[in-house]
Amino acid sequence: MSAPTNGPVTDRYTVISADCHAGADLLDYRPYLAKEHHEAFDAWAATYVNPYEDLLADTADRNWNSARRLAELEEDGIVAEVVFPNTIPPFFPSAALMAPAPTAEEFERRWAGLRAHNRWLADFCAAAPGRRAGVFQILLNDVAEAVKEIRWASRAGLRGGLLLPGTPPGSGLPELYSSTYDPIWAVCEELGVPVNHHAGSASPPLGEEPAARAVFMVETTWFSHRALWHLIFGGAFRRHPGLKLVLTEQGSGWIPGVLDMLDYYHGRLSAAAKRSKRSTAESKFGAGLAESMGKGPSDVWRDNCFVGASFMRPHEVPLRARIGVDKIMWGSDYPHDEGTYPYSREGLRCAYAGVPREEVAAMVGGNAARVYGFDLDALDALAAKAGPTVAELAEPLTRPPADATSPVFARGASVRVW
């Protein structure tokens, strides 16, 4: 498939970060809560201990200071962003969106907290018209309530779509392949709402020992990948062929191999179910699979799926044709430490130097504009002043910035040896 263009031909790229994060300062969520929750919120906020150093530092206001954010992103060459959550929603013990809550009352409060974030986010995006696509939050415990929130968010202009929580072992929730969630897929298809699955929300709790933290780092992206094969094998895309799934900040180099594996199992089990004249384990495993799934996994990827390839690494870029140049959306992960700010231009050079211009244009902005509904004509005017030049990104990066913290610059993360 040919790569989409990225606006009119200029000497600069229009860069849209498909992975940024924001949220309100803790007490600023209060006005967005229904009044009946104010007293409980005051008690919760008075005792809440924030576990995240970046939300306690003097740079924490990057999450909610609209003017600072716009200025820093433009300085970094970025003119628009997809905004995932970052700060703690009211009534949550941490940023994790896992439920069930300990009690029905606590669950009700957590829903109120997520709604408060979503309403704050709508105002935050409205403060920069056309430049932010907000990703709203839901819980999976009550599908009917989730559907109501999706409809509200669509009317409120949160074009970034929904953030799909994971269902890790021990959550007590039906797995994502369950038809329980069909009303969610149906309303997303109806309204053109992208379903985003971001790394970090699908891992089971592992504790705080050093080994546990290392295991989390190794496994967290795998647990996030699971959403892909759950929805494919569960038939969500057969029943809802207009559904769009975006997998963000999970890397992208894994995709060709996983699709090969999924195609293999799909073909193997479907064939066993069709040809076997006697009952075998594989014929039982494959019974009904082809009918429930419809298209094969690679076809589903081609027609329905995208990747938010945050700070794409050089070793992933040669795989872009197998992933799909029209599927890849670069992201800076601002304002996280592992993001590329303030060295996004260098990060883009590190990844894309030597790549054809039209392909770079698609991956750094054109694809995100298509998936999330950004107006490229309007953004091109901003990029004419703030965007990185074509010549700049064509120049290979020979040495990483000395104080850069993004993994894109890490030794061993690149085919280049610094």
- Please state the domain count of the chain: 1
Q: How far apart are CA 7 and CA 17, in angstroms?
A: 16
pLDDT computed for residue 327 by the predictor: 98
159: left (phi over 0), alpha (psi -120 to 50) or beta: alpha
Mean pLDDT of 385-390: 98
- Write the pLDDT tens digit of every residue in 107-116: 899 999 999 9
- C-alpha to C-alpha distances, 317 to 227, 255, 309, 323, 324, nearest whole angstrom: 23, 12, 10, 9, 11
Q: Is residue 241 part of a domain?
A: yes
Q: pLDDT by residue (tens digit) across 44-97?
A: 999 998 878 888 888 999 999 999 999 999 999 999 999 999 988 999 887 666
Structure tokens at 355: 């790549």
Give a yes or no: residue 1 inside a domain.
no
Q: What's the confidence (pLDDT) of residue 308?
A: 98
Domain assignment of residue 229, given as a range:
16-409
pLDDT in tens, 118-144: 999 999 999 999 999 999 999 999 999
Q: Is the pLDDT of residue 182 over 70?
A: yes
Whether 378 is in a domain gets the answer: yes
Helices (H) and strands (E) in the chain, counts: 17, 8
Digit-coded pLDDT (tens) for 240-284: 999 999 999 999 999 999 999 999 999 998 888 887 666 788 888
pLDDT at 358 over 90: yes
What is the per-residue pLDDT across 280-335, written as a single tens digit (0 to 9) for each?
888 888 888 888 888 999 999 999 999 999 999 999 999 999 999 999 999 999 99
Better-scored residue on pLDDT, 102 or 330: 330
**Omega before 31 within 30 of 0, i.e. cis:** no
Do 161 and 194 touch, CB atoms closer than 8 A? yes
pLDDT confidence bin for 99, thresholds 50/70/90: low
Token pair, residue 292, equals 């429930």
Q: What's the CATH number where 269 sits?
A: 3.20.20.140
Report if residue 3 sits inside a domain: no
342: nearest Cα among 388, 278, 289:
388
Inside any domain, residue 416: no
- 11 is a domain residue: no
Is the confidence at residue 417, as pLDDT, over 90? no
What residues contact 27, with CB distance under 8 A and at least 6 apart? 45
Residue 31, domain member (yes or no): yes
90 close to 29: Cβ distance less than 8 angstroms: yes
What residue type is assigned to position 280 of the chain?
A: T
Give the pLDDT of residue 96: 61
pTM, two decimal places: 0.94
Residue 192: pLDDT above 80?
A: yes
CA triplet 69, 128, 340: central angle to 5 degrees? 35
Q: For position 5, what pLDDT does the model report?
A: 47
Look at residue 235 and tell me whether its pLDDT is greater than 80.
Answer: yes
- Percent of the chain exceeding pLDDT 90 equals 76
Give me 162's structure tokens: 């929904």
Please provide the distance, in angstroms rounded to a whole number, between the alpha carbons at the two ends of the chain.
34
DSSP 396: P
Q: What is the DSSP letter of 408?
A: G
On whether residue 9 sits in a domain, the answer given is: no
